[in-house]
């Protein structure tokens, strides 16, 4: 097992901290890393796609799980896969799609590990029907503070604390997942312009597609405030393809652009470029278009085609914000969008989507209703006060802010948003009385 001292950040590239990094290749080596931790504790880390500081541990230990990346077994008849927690969703899709299976839930990037997807209880644009990632976990193996391994199944308190538990109940070693049958690697995509936020909300509320979201232009103002392009997608059945195309119906061929340079000057995605990008995206979409065929990778993970896209905000990095509010609380979304538009905040990749029923995870983010997410330059003047205001409005409406993406929330905020937080703290106290599993996020928010 290799061990080194490295500086780490989340995907947003803010608040770097230094930790001792262990890179185990076996479960036994992972146990050595956990039991040999120092006084600052230990936390697991995958591919570093958590936007904030959930997988950092200043002055402590970090267990890099990417070396534990074996796919143990695939039931190609029943649609079940057993794998290490360090396997990426990209690798799973690569292995499973040619067999006619897909992940029931995939977030906006496939470069996240299975352990990270469970620890964050990730969701995708199909949440209304498919729920979040841990709904499809049949079991997992959890390495606890004393080096023992527990098999954890749904319906138990330990599963509910681990699902979305940000790696604070232990190190997830492996998992068994249910899969979704598909007959092609193509999506049928409908797009539609929405003239403002009300139209976007109405369009999503009236939806019914398996996957749906709205890309919002947060730079638009006046009557166009909150204008968006609605995107709906369904898996294409093989019998809808021409005979010649059926021979490669399940091929997985993600496209890739040249990577973003290591150094990008600050302000590349400032107000003027962001406004131009929003204008081009909105005007470039037809008023309504139906049935366009698109590869699975292009539909679910368009940003993955641009390696290192998180460097586009320059050396200062960016802050990702995602909030959720219930049905009937749409006015909160209106106020957030209006404030961002009035201040001309250069928001990047702003997405509105519907959320279905929440999962069992005590710290899972989704609640039934709406989710709004966007990224802003970390150096934007007044950003902290603005996002604190959004936190307060979200909490007052019974909503919540996504912890897995957070990099700046105040310590008092989670208690107002996550009613099962006391249960989470109590279980951690019982399972891990010395507080072995810690992160910069857990210290900052007193989780």
- For residue 244, pLDDT over 80 is answered with yes
Do 254 and 306 touch, CB atoms closer than 8 A?
no
Does residue 340 sit in the same domain as residue 376? yes
Do 370 and 333 touch, CB atoms closer than 8 A?
yes
Domain containing 257 — which CATH number? 3.40.462
pLDDT tier for residue 319 given thresholds of 50, 70 and 90: very high
Does residue 299 sit in the same domain as residue 339? yes
Give domain status of residue 131, yes or no. Answer: yes
Output the furthest CA–CA distance in the chain (Å, rounded). Answer: 63
Does residue 258 sit in the same domain as residue 336? yes
Give domain status of residue 266, yes or no. Answer: yes
- For residue 333, pLDDT over 80 is answered with yes
Give domain status of residue 367, yes or no. Answer: yes
234: containing domain? 186-413
How far apart, in whole angstroms, are the C-alpha atoms of residue 17 and residue 229?
A: 38
Stretch 152-170: mean pLDDT:
97
Do 418 and 395 touch, CB atoms closer than 8 A?
no
Where in 113-152 does DSSP place strands (E)? 137-143, 149-152
Give domain status of residue 174, yes or no. Answer: yes
Partners of residue 323 on adjacent β-strands: 372, 401
pLDDT for res 270:
81
Say how many residues make up the chain.
Answer: 447
Do 262 and 309 touch, CB atoms closer than 8 A?
no
Stretch 338-345: mean pLDDT:
94
How does pLDDT run across 9-43, given as a tens digit for each residue?
Answer: 999 999 999 999 999 999 999 999 999 999 999 99
How does pLDDT run across 184-211, given as a tens digit for each residue?
Answer: 999 999 999 999 999 999 999 997 899 9
How does pLDDT run across 89-110, given as a tens digit for each residue?
Answer: 999 999 999 999 999 999 999 9
Give domain status of residue 191, yes or no. Answer: yes
Q: Please, what is the average pLDDT of the chain? A: 94
Query: Residue 265: which H helix or E strand, with range?
Result: none
Do 92 and 82 touch, CB atoms closer than 8 A?
no
Classified as helix, coil or strand, 59 is coil
Stretch 415-441: mean pLDDT:
96
pLDDT for res 382:
94
**How far apart, in Å, do the first and last CA atoms of the chain sit?**
30
Stretch 435-440: mean pLDDT:
97
Name the one residue in this structure whose structure tokens are 């500081």.
53
The residue among 182, 204, 222 that closes a domain is 182
- For residue 269, pLDDT over 80 is answered with no
- Tokens representing 364 are 């899972």
Does residue 208 sit in the same domain as residue 299? yes
pLDDT for res 315:
87
Closest CA to 35 of 115, 148, 140, 116: 148
Does residue 209 sit in the same domain as residue 177? no
Beta strands 171-178 and 137-143 are: antiparallel
Give domain status of residue 57, yes or no. Answer: no
How far apart, in whole angstroms, are the C-alpha atoms of residue 158 and residue 431?
A: 9
Stretch 156-174: mean pLDDT:
98
Does residue 376 sit in the same domain as residue 336? yes
pLDDT for res 302:
93
Does residue 152 sit in the same domain as residue 99? yes
- For residue 267, pLDDT over 80 is answered with no
Does residue 318 sit in the same domain as residue 220? yes
Does residue 218 sit in the same domain as residue 133? no
Classified as helix, coil or strand, 197 is helix
CB count within 10 Å of CB 339 equals 15
Domain containing 108 — which CATH number? 3.30.465.10
Does residue 237 sit in the same domain as residue 375? yes
pLDDT for res 273:
84
How does pLDDT run across 349-395, given as a tens digit for each residue?
Answer: 899 999 999 989 999 999 999 999 999 999 999 999 999 999 999 99
Percent of the chain with pLDDT over 70: 100
Does residue 333 sit in the same domain as residue 320? yes
pLDDT for res 245:
84
CB count within 10 Å of CB 425 equals 16
pLDDT for res 287:
83
Does residue 77 sit in the same domain as residue 206? no
Q: Give 307: exposed, middle or buried? Use CB within 10 Å, 0-12, 13-18, 19+.
A: middle
The residue among 154, 182, 210 that closes a domain is 182
Beta strands 228-235 and 348-355 are: unpaired
The residue among 160, 182, 204 that closes a domain is 182
Percent of the chain with pLDDT over 90: 86
- Tokens representing 269 are 């995605």
Name the one residue in this structure whose structure tokens are 């936390």.
43
pLDDT for res 397:
97
- What is the domain count for the chain? 2
Among 62-71, 261-270, 305-314, which stretch is predicted with the lowest mean pLDDT? Answer: 261-270
Among 31-35, 148-152, 231-235, 246-250, which stretch is predicted with the lowest mean pLDDT? Answer: 246-250
């Amino acid at each position: 097992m290799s061990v080194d001292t490295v500086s780490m950040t989340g995907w947003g590239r803010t608040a770097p901290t230094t930790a001792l990094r262990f890179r185990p290749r076996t479960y036994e080596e992972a146990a050595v890393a956990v039991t040999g931790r120092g006084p600052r504790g230990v936390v697991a880390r995958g591919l570093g796609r958590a936007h904030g500081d959930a997988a950092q541990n200043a002055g402590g230990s970090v267990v890099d799980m990417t070396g534990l990346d074996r796919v143990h077994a695939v039931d190609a008849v029943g649609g079940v896969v057993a794998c290490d927690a360090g396997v990426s969703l990209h690798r799973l899709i690569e292995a499973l799609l040619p067999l006619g299976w897909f992940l029931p839930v995939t977030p906006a990037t496939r470069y996240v590990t299975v352990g990270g997807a469970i620890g964050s209880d990730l969701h995708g644009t199909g949440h209304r029907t498919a729920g979040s990632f841990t709904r499809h976990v049949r079991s997992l193996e959890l390495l606890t503070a004393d080096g023992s391994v527990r098999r954890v199944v749904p319906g138990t308190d330990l599963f509910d604390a681990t699902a979305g538990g940000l790696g604070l109940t232990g190190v997830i070693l492996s998992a068994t997942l249910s899969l979704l049958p598909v007959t092609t690697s193509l999506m049928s995509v409908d797009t539609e312009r929405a003239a403002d936020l009300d139209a976007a909300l109405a369009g999503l509320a009236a939806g019914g597609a398996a996957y749906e979201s709205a890309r919002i232009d947060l730079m638009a103002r006046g009557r166009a405030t909150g204008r968006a392009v609605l995107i709906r997608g369904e898996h294409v059945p093989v019998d809808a393809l021409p005979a010649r195309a059926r021979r490669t119906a399940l091929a997985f061929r993600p496209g890739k652009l040249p990577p973003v340079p290591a150094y990008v000057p600050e302000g590349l995605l400032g107000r003027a470029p962001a406004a131009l990008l929003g204008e081009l995206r909105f005007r470039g979409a037809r008023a309504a278009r139906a049935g366009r065929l698109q590869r699975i990778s292009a539909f679910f993970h368009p940003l993955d085609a641009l390696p290192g896209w998180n460097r586009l905000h320059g050396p200062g990095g960016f802050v990702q914000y995602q909030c959720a509010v219930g049905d009937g609380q749409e006015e909160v979304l209106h106020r957030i969008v209006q404030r961002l538009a009035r201040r001309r905040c250069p928001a990047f990749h702003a997405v509105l989507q519907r959320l279905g029923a929440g999962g069992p995870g005590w710290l899972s983010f989704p609640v039934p209703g709406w989710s709004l997410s966007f990224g802003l330059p970390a150096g934007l003047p007044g950003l902290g006060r603005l996002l604190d205001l959004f936190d307060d409005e979200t909490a007052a409406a019974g909503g919540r802010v996504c912890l897995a993406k957070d990099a700046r929330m105040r310590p008092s905020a989670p208690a107002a948003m996550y009613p099962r937080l006391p249960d989470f703290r109590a279980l951690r106290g019982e399972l891990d009385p010395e507080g072995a599993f810690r992160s910069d996020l857990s210290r900052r928010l007193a989780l």
